[in-house]
Amino acid sequence: MAANQGPFPRTRFRRSRSGAALRNLTREVELSVHDLIWPVFVCAGTQERQAVTSMPGVERLSVDLMVDAARQAQGLGIPAICVFPYTDPALKTELCEEAWNPDNLTNRAIRAIKDAVPDIAVMTDIALDPYNANGHDGIVRDGIIVNDETVAALVKMALAQARSGADILGPSDMMDGRIGAMRDALEAEGHVNVTIMSYAAKFASAYYGPFRDAVGASGALKGDKKTYQIDPANRDEALRCVERDLSEGADMVMVKPGQPYLDLCRAVKDRFGAPTYAYQVSGEYAMIQAAAANGWVDGEKVMLESLTGFRRAGCDGVLTYFAPRVAEILNG
């Protein structure tokens, strides 16, 4: 045996890799169905499913089919489903009023799921982009995304979702001060157990492209989101955003996108110890699916390896479009 120069000269690392039993015994993290949050796109109609071209295997579902999906998720042991709306372009306005309509697609989906499948946690997205004629997450005035007026709108959106029965609110807008404003409003209305998972370390990323197709925002979007989402180069700033959101009342925090930002996942978990999640976003999903469809990688193996990577990086869970497929595999 070649001389081992490390502090444990008698160790052969291959001993613990020599068979499945030893590998199982020495594995450091494990992916479980309980780590999964399944993002699903909801559209108008009944018995309606629409393929999302840039996300092979993902469909927009009408509310009734969304309830079936929630039932399926519950059966698989997935703890939470996250609702994203595909909003009729005719309902998009400059002031985004549809965002806090109690009967908008998201709120109807929340109520329908909580009626039929009460034990699954329903998560939402809070940002104005699906409802905005400009495709931005905030209200645009004279070409500027205005912060405080947007926060007031987001609070109305949060309350409408909480009243509909949402369990986890997911502010993804990156305005300053939104977590504290939402927490105050939730407390004032008695929604003391509504959880906030802040998209705290959310970067201005090209990996969101397929999602913007899925929610119908790409056509509307003018410009980019660099004046509110974090520069991909900035780690310290992202950590300060996480600290700020926790101090304002976030219960859980998210790093997004996932795989290019695993260093942030580890840093957030080590520094704050809060429940930490990654979003394996649409572009990450699309890249794995595209390579797999070409036969260039084994899609299922890459899927499981990518998700194990989030656990190893310190994440307590992952939002992933692969959730039902992963759960099927993990359940054997």
Q: Is 127 a residue that touches ligand PBG (CB under 6 A)?
A: yes
Rounded to an integer, what distance in angstroms lies between the CA atom of residue 7 and that of residue 11?
A: 9
Please tell me what DSSP assigns to residue 131: G
Write down the catalytic residue from 92, 114, 225, 256: 256
Q: Is 87 a residue that touches ligand PBG (CB under 6 A)?
A: no
Q: Is 164 a residue that touches ligand PBG (CB under 6 A)?
A: no
* Smallest separation, CB 204 to ligand PBG (Å): 8
Residue 256 known to be catalytic: yes
Q: Is 129 a residue that touches ligand PBG (CB under 6 A)?
A: yes
Please tell me what DSSP assigns to residue 230: B
| Distance of alpha carbon 327 from the chain centroid | 17
In the three-class reduction of DSSP (H, G, I as helix; E, B as strand; rest coil), residue 283 is classed as: helix
Q: Is 281 a residue that touches ligand PBG (CB under 6 A)?
A: yes
Q: Token pair of 44, please?
A: 């108008």
Residue 269 known to be catalytic: no
Residues 189-228, one symbol each (x = binds ligand PBG by CB under 6 A, - = not), give -------------------x--xx------------x---
- Residues with Cβ within 8 Å of 262's Cβ and at least 6 positions away in sequence, in order, are 278, 309, 310, 313
Rounded to an integer, what distance in angstroms lies between the CA atom of residue 127 and that of residue 100?
A: 11
* Smallest separation, CB 68 to ligand PBG (Å): 22
Rounded to an integer, what distance in angstroms lies between the CA atom of residue 43 and that of residue 37?
A: 19
| Helix axes of 178-188 and 147-164: crossing angle, nearest 10 degrees | 40
Write down the catalytic residue from 202, 225, 226, 269: 202
Q: Token pair of 9, please?
A: 């000269």
Among 198, 282, 289, 306, binds ligand PBG (CB under 6 A): 282
Task: Kindly tell me which of 186 and 318 has the beta carbon lying closer to ligand PBG.
Answer: 318
Rounded to an integer, what distance in angstroms lies between the CA atom of residue 225 and that of residue 218?
A: 12
Residues 16-55, one symbol each (x = binds ligand PBG by CB under 6 A, - = not), give ----------------------------------------
Instruction: Name the residues that contact ligand PBG, by CB under 6 A.
Output: 125, 127, 129, 137, 172, 208, 211-212, 225, 281-282
